[in-house]
Amino acid sequence: MADVRLLLSAQAYDNDEPDTNNSRLLFSLLPGPYSHNFSIDSNTGLLRNQGPLDREAIDPTLQGRIVLTVRVSDCGVPSLSTDVNVTINVEDINDNVPVFSQSSYQFFVKERESGVLVGVVEAWDADQTEVNNRISFGLSGSGASNFMIRGSVLGPGRAEGQIWLPSDGSVDYETQALFLLTVTAENLDPQGHEATAGVNVTVVDVNDEPPTLDEGSLRGISVAENGSQHGQVAEVVARDVDTEAQLEIQLVNVICTKAGVDVGGLCHDWFSVEANGSVYINQSEAIDYEACDLVTLVVRAYDRTTDPRFQAYSNNGSLLITIEDVNDNAPYFLLDNQTFVIIPELVIPNQQVASVRARDNDSGNNGAIEFSILQVNFISKDGATIPFQGFFRIVTSVEATVFTGSIELVTNLDSTLQGTYQVTVQAQDKPSVGPAQEAQVTLNLFTVDQSYRVRLQFSTPKEEVGANVEEIKAALAQATRTTVYVVNIQDVESTARARAQSYLDAYFVFSNGSALTLSELSLMIRKDQDALTQLLRLGLVVLGSQESQEEDQGKLFISVIIGLGVALLLVLAIMIMALVCMRKSYHRKLRAMKAAKEARKTAAGVLPSGSAIPGTNMYNTERANPMLNLPTKDLGLEYLTSSSDLDYVSLNSLDDNSVDLDGNNQKIKARSGMSWYPGLLTWESSLKGWFQERGGRNLLLAWAV
């Protein structure tokens, strides 16, 4: 808008005579598009504007130029005139404020999108020059930092502002669903005038958020075992902030544990999870605390309408189902295959003689066990049954989940009784609610008579035997396949020592309660050469029973002396017999020599000059028998004869009587030796038989090997 009081003065001249009508001039404006905005003084030609000039009212194509036609004419007759164009340039000033095309704008944008155009605002400025009609835009308001606006020129005085989401940013429906912004349009007006418009940006919800599980619905629950509960036991709840979410609960995994240890998939069918999150007992009767005490259901939520670009599943959650124990299991005994043996001389009151072990798969008081003795019977060897009371008691102890009942002796047992104590033990649990359950077992406690006590003598002192007792027991157990019960280890008294320095008393008991005798033990040891070698290495020298060792220890040496005396008598008898035989043989030789002499004197009174062959009836030359055809007469040898007729009968038999003294002596020695050897064998057998007659319980290892 321009306010010009005087634009210019029009000047003209006329060559007619001055001061005449022909030379007096008059000014006027010819009608034109903008002539009404001006006036001209007709006499002076002063051109004036009628009011402020508005550049914006001028045709923009004229670029602010107004062309006026001024006419000057004289007053002569006829009147003469001349027209002239007067151009007026109206300068533009920044006198217009930008104007928005709308007072408010409404835009929509999807969440999670970035770098997208939200909307466009438009404004214009009426100023004609570019410097005055340039428009710049700005944004303000809550959340304006999430957006940016870019201005662009549409034409002279016209511009638009594009509202964008930055490439590295986005809006979240769940955080802020509506933005109320203010857009401004301004130019370089020194007065700071600006135009404003409201911009409402609505965030369009996108199903971009994964669902979540409600932690409260995942609190652990308890379910009793063995059909105690049915139906729904829990409900898993899921949430999704998206407006169009369609959720379902999915069962991902089932974990079965017992005492913290994974037990596989045995509980997989116990529970089921519906899509709406309801948790049901699926197999009530199958739920077993003893097999699994904790079931973990791993679940998640799924949103069927989630945008494919985003996660549709929640994080996994765990629903812990604790299985409560019900007293549905009776105690049971753990079979140890032990043989319980009572050796009266070893057991004393308050000493444990047997034990039982039991378990109960229930927990807490339902699985606690108390032992008691219901009945005690003694079965003698003849089959008679004798009830006993008060002889035994049982003490309960526990380690981990195993309960032990220690059977102790209350009073001394009658050592004269031989048989088996049958002890009936009851194991009973102690439930907090409901009836108790129990189990029973009968133990056989075998008694072993003292007559089965065997003494083993060693060549080493008792300290060394004690140090090697485990090796000794192992070797004996290997040979006998029995349980070895060692009673004591002592030194042998110095007065009774022979080869042994110490002894070990023990019992050898089979699993059925029977025990080995000394002879059976000796036989078994001799059969197992490895065990025998081991025992000999450990110093074993004599096997014997305690009874025989104690009763016959002194008699052993007396018996040996008696045996030596008997042997000496046998030797003397044999020597006497040998002398008698030698005497008889000598007499026979004398008779034979005399007979030979008489024979040489006969045979026609002439004796052959050749020598005779000793021991025969042959002469070297005649080869005749001088004893043939001789009359029977007394040769005068009566003083050499004995009372036996056998000597006389053998007189004429030189086959049985030899004059070879050396050969005869050897035969006599051989015959007397043969007589000594059977006697010695007989004595040896008798002495060995004597040891066996002592009960077969005292054997020298020398005879055993």
- pLDDT for 641-653, tens place per residue? 444 444 444 444 4
- Say what the pLDDT of residue 25 is: 79
Q: Which CATH number does the domain housing residue 338 bear? A: 2.60.40.60
Region label for 138, one of left (φ > 0), alpha (ψ between -120 and 50) or beta (otherwise): beta
The mean pLDDT value of the chain amounts to 80
Distance (Å, whole) CA 296 – CA 646: 117
Q: Looking at per-residue confidence, does 80 or 619 come out higher?
A: 80
Mapped to the 3 state alphabet, what secondary structure does 312-365 carry? CECCCEEEEEEEECCCCCCCEECCCCCCEEECCCCCCCCCEEEEEEEECCCCHH
* Percent of the chain topping pLDDT 90: 37
Whether 588 maps to a domain, the answer reads no
Q: What is the pLDDT of residue 160?
A: 94
Among the candidates 204, 228, 255, a domain finishes at: 204
Q: Distance between CA atoms of 105 and 177, rounded to whole angstroms?
A: 16
Do 376 and 295 fall within a single domain? no
Q: Let me know whether 292 and 187 are in one domain.
A: no
Residues 229 and 299 in one domain: yes
User: Whole-model pTM?
Assistant: 0.46
- 296 and 341 assigned to the same domain: no
Residue 130 lies in a domain: yes
Residue 28 has pLDDT above 90, yes or no: no
Residues 372 and 319 in one domain: no
3 state DSSP class of 283: coil
125 exposure class (CB count in 10 Å sphere: 0-12, 13-18, 19+): buried
First vs last C-alpha separation in the chain: 150
565 has a pLDDT exceeding 50: yes
- Domain co-membership, 104 together with 12: no
Question: Which of 159-173, 521-535, 586-600 comes out lowest in average pLDDT?
Answer: 586-600
Residue 135 lies in a domain: yes
Domain assignment present for 650? no
The 10 Å Cβ neighbour count of residue 256 is 20
* pLDDT digits 0-9 by tens, 668-677: 333 433 333 3
Domain span holding position 529: 451-545
Taken as a whole, the chain contains a residue count of 705
pLDDT score for 544 = 67
Do 338 and 443 reside in the same domain of the chain?
A: yes
pLDDT at 688: 42
In-domain check, residue 463: yes
Q: What tens digit of pLDDT does each residue of 94-148 get? A: 778 899 999 999 999 998 888 999 999 999 988 888 888 888 999 999 889 999 9
In a domain, 671, yes or no: no
Of 63, 89, 115, the domain-final residue? 89
- pLDDT of 182 strictly over 90: yes
Cβ–Cβ contacts within 10 Å for residue 69, how many?
Answer: 14
Give yes or no: residues 279 and 344 share one domain.
Answer: no
Same-domain check for residues 63 and 120: no
Sheet holding 232-235, edge to edge: 232-235, 278-281, 271-273
Residue 173 lies in a domain: yes
Would you say residue 225 lies in a domain? yes
Is there a single domain that holds both residue 390 and residue 429?
Answer: yes
